[in-house]
């Protein structure tokens, strides 16, 4: 997708980046980085830790970047400012110049398409490093899975999630962010939260589920929602499916939040921040 930005906006974005770039240096690509280090990574150095994104969510984030740059959405002065404030977290890989995304796949996919510059720098928090460690790639992915840094699932021929081994993750995770595949239900789950009115689903111990939007997407599929054009009507209908606590528990092995948000707590994707 190519979006046209006028020269004044582009200059403003460059100035914003120039100022903010002074605050953080680039992450080392030759030495192990201490956990909780904040630094910058070029878009081309990011590696996925999952197979899928929701492409509709990515498209919405691209539109949001454009709204920041045109000033139509005043939360940020520019798309760059929003990107640098996105809270991207990464793990430095066995190859020290590879940074595996723990959180932020959708935002970074949007940045790839919007800025169209593989060298574009993004602020990150390095939460762990395996640089220079002696282990196999399969052992690395075992750690990634055990630490909940990666989402070890693929989609079968019927569109359902199934678990992958560390070896399969090593073989199947795309080499770059733009190569990630689309899973429609991941976008729907995101929009039910963004436009809808339910809290994150919990496991049976009452804990928020890591990578919960994937499992919430699977839950919506299990309850009969079929891929189609995502409208507010569909999102509203999907949200009501989580009202039946017994059904959600039985079908999805998840517990819905005990109560809905009040209408004045719902944050819709409109022009406000």
The larger pLDDT score, comparing residue 200 to residue 25, is at 25
Rounded distance, CA 76 to CA 69, Å? Answer: 8
At residue 149, the pLDDT reads 97
Assign residue 53 a region (left: φ > 0; alpha: ψ between -120 and 50; beta: otherwise).
beta
- Find the Cα–Cα–Cα–Cα dihedral 163, 166, 168, 173, rounded to 10°: 90
Full-model pTM: 0.86
- 180, two tokens: 């990630």
Give yes or no for a contact between 46 and 111, defined as CB atoms under 8 angstroms apart: no
At residue 72, the pLDDT reads 93
What are the strands, taking DSSP E only, across 164-237? 181-182
β-partners of residue 162 are 154
What angle (nearest 5°) sits at the alpha carbon of residue 55, between those of residues 153 and 157?
A: 45
Q: Is the pLDDT of residue 12 over 70?
A: no
Confidence bin at 112 (pLDDT 50/70/90): very high
At residue 93, the pLDDT reads 98
């Amino acid at each position: 997708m190519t979006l046209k930005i006028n020269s004044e906006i582009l200059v403003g974005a460059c100035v914003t980046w120039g100022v903010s770039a002074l605050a953080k240096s680039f992450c080392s690509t030759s030495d192990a980085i201490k956990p909780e280090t904040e630094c910058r990574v070029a878009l081309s150095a990011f590696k996925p830790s999952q197979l899928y994104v929701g492409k509709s969510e990515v498209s919405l984030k691209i539109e949001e970047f454009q709204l920041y740059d045109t000033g139509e959405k005043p939360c940020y002065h520019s798309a760059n400012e929003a990107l640098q404030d996105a809270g991207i977290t990464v793990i430095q890989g066995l190859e020290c110049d590879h940074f595996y995304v723990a959180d932020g796949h959708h935002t970074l996919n949007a940045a790839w398409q919007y800025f169209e510059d593989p060298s574009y720098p993004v602020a990150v928090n390095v939460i762990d490093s395996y640089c220079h460690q002696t282990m196999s790639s399969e052992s690395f992915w075992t750690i990634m899975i055990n630490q909940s840094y990666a989402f070890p699932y693929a989609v079968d021929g019927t569109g359902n999630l199934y678990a992958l081994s560390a070896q399969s993750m090593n073989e199947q995770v795309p080499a770059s962010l733009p190569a990630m595949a689309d899973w429609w239900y991941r976008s729907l789950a995101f929009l039910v939260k963004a436009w809808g009115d339910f809290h994150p689903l919990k496991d049976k111990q009452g804990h928020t589920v890591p990578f919960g939007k994937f499992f919430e997407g699977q839950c919506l599929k299990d309850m009969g929602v079929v891929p189609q054009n995502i409208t507010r009507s569909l999102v509203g209908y999907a949200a009501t499916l989580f009202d039946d606590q017994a059904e959600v528990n039985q079908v999805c092995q998840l517990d819905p939040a005990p109560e809905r948000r009040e209408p004045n707590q719902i944050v819709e994707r409109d022009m406000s921040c």
